[in-house]
Amino acid sequence: MDLTAIGTLLTPEGWALLESLSDYDESRAMAVGERLRREGHPAPLVAAALTQARLRTRARAKFGPFAATMLFTPEGLEQATRLTVAARHAQRFSAAGISRVADLGCGVGSDSMALATFDREVVAVEKDDVTAAVATMNLRHWPEATVRCEDATTTDLRGVGGAFVDPARRNASGRRLLDPRAGSPSLEFVLALAGRLPAVGLKTAPGIPHHLVPDGVEAQWVSVAGDVVEASLWFGLLGREGVRRAALVLPADDDAATGPVELTDAGMPQAEAGPVGSVLYEPDGAVIRAGLVGQVAAAVNGRLLDRTIAYVTADRVLPTPFARAYAVEDVFGFQLKTLRTWLRDRGIGRLTIKKRGTAVDPDQLRRQLRLMGNAEATIVLTRVAGRQSVLAVRPLGR
């Protein structure tokens, strides 16, 4: 989507057309487009409006009802922070007393929206002119926020007390970048910025290696409804004393019965490995990324299956929001013939395969098992005391 397409939507005719469109349905998009062109709407405007309708529908997962009045670019939507997570970012700046914040690499403006909602004065900086135009539109309800179409690394930060940096994390070929040193702006820029400003936050990929987290900086991994969505580094006033790594587990946006919970490495116990008990725990992805599986083991009075594998076992169920629990129904060494016989004897035709610490390809294994029957089962392929093993498990309620 280019600036011309965005411009057509910002005319009275373009905005009225966009607002008239109902939920996007791929199966009906061609027919809707043909109808709109027959009604006299220019083809470029119809294409731009349908593109926005499609992006708005996709954006509900991140923006909820706000998506219905926003504009997006495909790349901007992909990288945008979910509003529930952006609110957590904004809370840090608010708690630190930072009144004027620069959102560097603001994208479509989600973090700027959250900061402005927390009554922060926001300088939103975006180098791409199309994305900057989209952000300007999305921030129209917040006079506290202004958008600059500038390079985040050279913009004037005089009068700013803190900054949130959301770098581009794809290379020229579109491949994801896990190393924050390769982002734009880079980790080197952020480190220099943290030397100038008392409060700096950096959004980065969840796969960031722990050794790249600078000394004295808090790293927090965040999951939403079980999906790990980001890692963030918090410098200066935004970090918490004594916390090096943290895992924040957020419920789905429509889950009013579950609240956010967090684990940190403050006082983290040393987890021991031991035999398989009657319960298996699969820690949340944010907990695993943060290296806090030992905290889960301590919370459920459990132990690791293996020191190098992120599964916890225990002898009785203790509910925890940081892991999914399974009843262990059988344990045996992994051999194709043994597993095939076990499944055939129980009439298993539908099989869920989980794995950790093994090179087995689940799709290939499923073909080799030649499943037949009406029953279903879940198995876990992993190491137990150094041995490749199969755990037959049954999911327990949270």
What residues does each domain of the chain span?
Answer: 3-65, 77-262, 279-395
Q: What pLDDT score was predicted for residue 178?
A: 67
Per-residue pLDDT tens digits for 229-246: 999 999 999 999 999 999
Q: For the chain, how big is the Rg over CA atoms in Å?
A: 25
Three-class DSSP labels, 285-315: HHHHHCCCHHHHHHHCCCEEEECCEEEEEEC
Q: CA–CA separation, 163 vs 102, rounded Å?
A: 5
Q: CB under 8 Å to 318, separation ≥6 — which residues?
A: 299, 300, 301
Q: CB under 8 Å to 286, separation ≥6 — which residues?
A: 206, 221, 222, 223, 228, 247, 248, 249
Give the largest CA-CA distance in the chain.
Answer: 72
Q: What pLDDT score was predicted for residue 5?
A: 84
Q: What pLDDT score was predicted for residue 183?
A: 76
Contact 358, 328 (CB under 8 A): no
Q: What pLDDT score was predicted for residue 202?
A: 98
Q: DSSP characters for 246-298? A: EEEEE--TT-TT---EEEE-TTPPPPPB----SEEEEE-HHHHHTT-HHHHHH
Residue holding tokens 């093993």? 389
Q: What pLDDT score was predicted for residue 253?
A: 81
Q: CB under 8 Å to 103, separation ≥6 — which residues?
A: 109, 111, 112, 115, 122, 123, 124, 125, 163, 164, 166
Handedness of CA 25, 31, 37, 40 (dihedral sign): negative
Q: What pLDDT score was predicted for residue 182?
A: 74
Range 77-262 classified under CATH 3.50.50.60: no
Residues of the chain predicted below pLDDT 70: 1, 170-174, 177-178, 398
Residue holding tokens 């790594």? 245
Residue 49 three-state SS: helix
Beta bridge partners of 281: 312, 325
User: What counts of helices (H) and strands (E) characterise the chain?
Assistant: 13, 16
Contact 103, 79 (CB under 8 A): no
Model's pTM, two decimal places?
0.91
CA-nearest of 104, 161, 111, 102 to 139 is 111
Q: What pLDDT score was predicted for residue 173?
A: 65
CA-nearest of 47, 52, 67, 57 to 109 is 67
Helix (H) or strand (E) holding 26: none
